[in-house]
Amino acid sequence: MTERILTSAQDVQPLDPQLDTLPKQFLARVREYGGNKVAMRKKRYGIWMQFTWQDSFQHVHDFCLGLISLGLQRGDKILIIGDNDPEYYWAELAAHSAGMTTVGAFTDAAPKEIQYIATNSDSVLVIAHDQEQVDKLLEIQTELPNIRYVVYWDNRGLFNYDDPWLMSFEDVEELGRQYGRQNPSAFEENIRLGSSEDYAIFSYTSGTTGLPKAAMITHANLLFGNQHVALIQSLQPGDDHVSFSPMAWIAEQGLGLANHLVYSVVVNFPEKPETVQHDIREIAPHTLLFASRLWESLVSMVQARMADSNWLNRKLYEWFMPVGYRMAEMAERKVQPGAWQRFLYWMGDMAVFAPLRDKMGLRRIRFAYTSGAAVSPEIIRFFRALNIQLLQLYGSTECQTHTLHYVNDVQLGTVGKPPPGVQIKVTEQGEVAVKSRSVFVGYYKAPEKTAEVLRDGWFYTGDAGYIDDNGHLVYLDRMSDMRELSDTEKFSPQFIEVRLKFSQYIQDVMTIGSREMPYVTALVTLNFDNTARWAEKRGLSFTTMVDLSQKPPVYDLIEKEVENINKSLPPASRIRKFAILYKTFDADESELTRTRKLRRRTLEERYGDIIHGMYEGKDKVQVQAEVTYQDGRKGITETEVSIRGVGDVSDLPVLKRVTSAG
């Protein structure tokens, strides 16, 4: 393979020195709009609360000076852990205004994970959302000697806590107001001292192969990363964005916070995770960023509800979805539809597509993005059939967006082209590398790891891919996860997995194969809600997830899904056997990263008996598995897991116990 480079024809402009940090952008918006325009909304107790740019300014101003009055210095690190809320934005902007660096942690992080991030990043203060996060921090208080205070912004359940280590958000703001009366120019002076090369955030990698690393991201990195995508959008001041993807994720920083500050996008915060779909419908945003898993869940929800709908709605869906798919295919091939096709689509839009867009809260959507793990082309095709332009973003913590689908140039099965200001190359070894002004500075306290991935201005992603004849990048998998079978045929586990997850009945998949394991097998976890609904409609009785997962009709159901995917795969990549697990993969048990990527080594070890059983010719495997419950208790699950062959498996070799799944 020869080395190929992709470069966008358009470049980005240098940063204006007056607007080269996030706080400088913030001040510019405040001066432009003041108290006249809404900057953000938060739903509380079922009511959307509005905050103008002046409201945000007052909170950021007071909290910034409060941090300074507590003795924090420029360059200090502050850990923030909490759901997306106005207070998160205000706290982050306040810290940046004072020249400090913010460090994000996922809200479902366990105490030990929080301890690792706080210690590794040298954080000196934690800003926490609520009682749940405060309790985690109190549990490890003695192991956090560098943390001077924990500041919380939701005081429910915390009224009786009496610990000088804890402070409320309002207390810090009051300190800031007192400091501001004595130092009236301190806030804007601190912002003026800020530089584009100051570290804005430490964003931790997902840690699929080891401990997460802190990527050091400057203000310039974030602003250029935002420009790369924004230059091919048509954002308007006042466009609505729903902020739901975790702030600890680099994508929400670049396309949520930065869009808010640079393009005056109004940020809307749902009341809580359980109400997000209802809240999105009320806002009907213009832009939305979801991880691939959430788009997959949305498709599963639509499919399940249509299956449960009345006869007429089901028939309309069955009649018009093929029309939508044909229109999406024509758009991909840049073929103009005829008058009859347009009429049929208009009818389908009136009867099916527009109501579905409204139900999902996507009736005004202009830019819908999916990022994180790869998403199945079938997911994108589904939304395009509904006239929702779902665009794939391919990126990383270290460089934000590498490539993306352009609105009028979507090639399904690819991850698009580089945006303005970004160069992509594929090395002779098939590794994807990126060069742009959004590439991070390096990993904090890990120069040897930095040297491995940053060379000659290029960031080497560790991802495998190739550039197709149309100049689009095709992502395959992590280089370390590509598998070679005994006949030297290679396959990409993730390529198969994302396609299988299009099924409404499948939550997760891990495919297995290697030279020692000479054909492809899979571990499947069920989407319990959808599969349970399917079982109930057919009178199939069950008690628990464990019971349901091992029912023969459920195996029949999943086998059909596997057979459908196998038809589109090369013979060597087809799944020959599978087993359905008795539980879903869980980030709290280290089976997934916090961004919901598979930790393959952990899974291969934990489910090794089942994996080996598929290659040893067994029909069933008795397993004892440790399960960690939400309250931290551990228990043992004992069950018999069935193994099912797909098609004729009589030609498959029966192996003795092998030593590795990859």
The CATH number linked to 31 is 3.40.50.12780
Residue 473 shares a structural domain with residue 515: no
The answer, yes or no, to whether residue 350 has pLDDT greater than 60, is: yes
| 365 neighbors 285 (Cβ within 8 angstroms) | yes
By residue range, what is the domain housing residue 90? 22-194
In a domain, 224, yes or no: no
In a domain, 340, yes or no: yes
Q: What are phi and psi of 484, to 5 degrees?
A: -120, 125
The average pLDDT across 173-187 equals: 97
The answer, yes or no, to whether residue 594 has pLDDT greater than 60, is: yes
Of 194, 211, 236, which marks where a domain is finished?
A: 194
Going by the DSSP 8-state scheme, the letter that residue 85 receives in this structure is -
Phi-psi group of 75: left, alpha or beta (phi > 0 → left; psi -120 to 50 → alpha; rest → beta): left
The CATH number linked to 576 is 3.30.300.30
Residue 321 shares a structural domain with residue 468: yes
Residue 423 shares a structural domain with residue 513: no
Residue 389 shares a structural domain with residue 372: yes
Residue 10 binned pLDDT confidence (cut-offs 50, 70, 90): confident
In a domain, 227, yes or no: no
Residue 498 shares a structural domain with residue 428: no
- Per residue in 233-252, pLDDT tens? 888 999 999 999 899 989 89
- Per residue in 141-171, pLDDT tens? 999 999 999 999 999 999 899 999 999 999 9
Residue 628 binned pLDDT confidence (cut-offs 50, 70, 90): low
String of b and e for 104-117 (b: at least 16 CB within 10 Å)? bbbbebbbebbbbb
Residue 77 shares a structural domain with residue 156: yes
- Domain total for the chain? 3
Residue 461 shares a structural domain with residue 554: no
Q: What's the CA gap between 119 and 142, in Å, rounded?
A: 12
Residue 28 shares a structural domain with residue 51: yes
Residue 586 binned pLDDT confidence (cut-offs 50, 70, 90): confident
Residue 509 shares a structural domain with residue 448: no
Q: What's the CA gap between 407 and 404, in Å, rounded?
A: 9
Torsion of CA 350, 354, 358, 362, to 10 degrees: -160
Of 164, 194, 224, which marks where a domain is finished?
A: 194
The answer, yes or no, to whether residue 180 has pLDDT greater than 70, is: yes
Phi-psi group of 539: left, alpha or beta (phi > 0 → left; psi -120 to 50 → alpha; rest → beta): left
Q: What's the CA gap between 63 and 177, in Å, rounded?
A: 8
Residue 473 shares a structural domain with residue 490: no
In a domain, 549, yes or no: yes
In a domain, 592, yes or no: yes
Of 194, 227, 262, which marks where a domain is finished?
A: 194
Number of helical H runs and strand E runs in the chain: 23, 30
In a domain, 107, yes or no: yes
- Per residue in 38-91, pLDDT tens? 999 999 999 999 999 999 999 999 999 999 999 999 999 999 999 999 999 999
The residues, any chain, with a CB within 8 Å of residue 458's CB and separated by 6 or more, are 425, 433, 434, 435
Q: What are phi and psi of 462, to 5 degrees?
A: 80, 5
Q: Which two tokens stand for residue 511?
A: 């495919």
In a domain, 546, yes or no: yes
In a domain, 16, yes or no: no
Residue 386 shares a structural domain with residue 424: yes
- Per residue in 253-312, pLDDT tens? 998 999 999 999 999 999 988 899 999 999 999 999 988 888 988 888 898 888 888 999
Going by the DSSP 8-state scheme, the letter that residue 523 receives in this structure is E
Residue 443 shares a structural domain with residue 585: no
Q: What's the CA gap between 444 and 463, in Å, rounded?
A: 22
- What are the distances in angstroms from CA 596 to CA 139, 215, 346, 640? 25, 19, 38, 27
